[in-house]
Amino acid sequence: MKKIDDHKNGDVAIDQYHRYKEDVAIMKDMGLDAYRFSISWSRILPNGTVSGGINKKGIEYYNNLTNELLRNGIEPLVTLFHWDVPQALEEEYGGFLSTRIIDHFKEYAELCFKEFGDRVKHWTTLNEPYTISNHGYTIGIHAPGRCSAWYDTNCLGGDSATEPYMVTHHLLLAHAAVVKLYKEKYQAFQKGVIGITVVSHWFEPAWKTRKDIDAAFRALDFMYGWYVRLARYIILFLDPLTRGDYPHSMQSIVGDRLPKFTKQESKLLSGSFDYIGINYYSARYASDVSTNYFVPPNYLKDLRVNVTSEYKCKLPVIHQVIRIIGFNIHSCLYMLWQLNLMESPLVNGPKSLTNLQMGLQAASDWLYIYPKGLYDLILYTKKKYNDPVIYITENGMDEFNNPELPLEKVLDDSNRIDYYYRHLCYLQAAIKKGAKVKGYFAWSLLDNFEWNKGYTVRFGINYVEYDNGLKRHPKRSTHWFKNFLKKSSSSTKKIRVCGDDNAKATNLCIKFES
């Protein structure tokens, strides 16, 4: 718990294990038609393998939750792996550092298909493999807390130059093995679909130069295309799933540290999804640092990109003139725009000469609000990845957990309403451009335990009183969504998600996750 901000744990968290009926009632009252949840590998296989024993209580819980959802007209979308490797497998062979985990993950997935597949029709193999490899093995802030000693002496061993790539390689092969199993053995009679969920920021070039434009695409290569193949530029996680190999930019930079796929593995990976889940929260500026980057080899250095939430407003040649005559930020940006070095200066509301921020910051230090990035990422995926079926599997913002505030104050989350309003506006615009977006899941239905942030931030649309029996309270955003869903439930009614009087309901399912 040393790496968790408030030194607490998720043993009980919000206790949906015992309160699932109450939570499903909340969903039904809001008008939700789907709910995304994950199965804990170690809850049903405490020792990680079938031979190590099946926990019948765990199976019973997920059956109860699934049945309760279906009884209330709510469809389950189930994730098989959301970062919780059974401790027994971590201790035995290092979890995803070993190829041995591929067969064990396949065995676990098959148990889930057998137990729940008659009712679960939407499966996700992995949630955010990028976060697993980067946070767990590059910077060490998530389990198992590994990184190079030069990066953080508190890490429990590791090599930030090689382990992230090794882990990603095994994650991809485990995903492909499970998809093959499902398609060959279960899909025909269970009649479900299976996909993967990836996460990415959107990246804007800090300057409208060729190098920074390339840097923005390269950042997408390393965060998003590690798993999906694009045409000219490739996003790290999507690349192997569509082409069967890693992005060319990654291969040329990482070299021998990047594992190789056999021909058989490449064939297995290519096209190994029925849909792509996208988790989108934020965006960044990207600038090129392909030279003079004296840092030991590691995944983050390999990008050769400076990724930031803000950038300095400078002029390459005439910045001294600007200083002398005292132009303000608007003049500075206008001149950059006129010189064709950046886009329109009015996009993000510039504030000062030296600090142009990507967007307003939420509670988490990584979450800067940039709604247009969702639109850009969806259309980028549509164009470069052969127009796949897409689910927005996470989208949301957090606020600080301040126990000193009165209840009526914390329930008034108008900033969250604005966040969803603007993101749904851009989502609707992407759908009008032809993107095959089939559903949208907000993060999150309820306040919850947020990994290394613990309970210090709140993403929930419903408030949970951690110090008062975990009582649930609807926030203002709960009522906003409930009203929105009522308006959009009939195709004969018009909605004004984007302030358009003529906007017809898209019949897009608005769904929630915890």
Active site residues: 128, 394
Contact between residue 386 and residue 363 where contact means Cβ atoms under 8 Å apart: no
Backbone angles phi, psi at 287, to 5 degrees: -130, 150
Contact between residue 191 and residue 270 where contact means Cβ atoms under 8 Å apart: no
Helix axes 16-30, 476-488, angle to 10 degrees: 50
Tell me the DSSP string of 78-105. EEEESS---HHHHHHH-GGGSTHHHHHH
Q: Find, among 30, 19, 96, the residue nearest to 64 by Cα.
A: 19
Helix axes 56-71, 100-116, angle to 10 degrees: 50
d(CA 444, CA 514): 5
- Count CB neighbours of 53 within 10 A: 12
Going by C-beta distance under 8 Å and a sequence separation of 6 or more, which residues neighbour residue 231?
383, 384
How would you classify the pairing of strands 437-443 and 390-394?
parallel
What's the token pair of residue 378? 């969806």
Long-range CB pairs of 21-26, under 8 A, 24+ apart, other chains included: 21/68, 22/472, 23/445, 23/446, 23/472, 23/514, 24/65, 24/68, 24/69, 24/72, 24/74, 25/72, 26/445, 26/462, 26/472, 26/474
CA atoms within 13 A on the CB side of 178: 31
Backbone angles phi, psi at 329, to 5 degrees: -60, -35
d(CA 205, CA 212): 5
Going by C-beta distance under 8 Å and a sequence separation of 6 or more, which residues neighbour residue 141?
3, 135, 452
Amino acid letter, 249: S
Q: Find, among 48, 60, 38, the residue nearest to 103 by Cα.
A: 48
d(CA 335, CA 342): 9
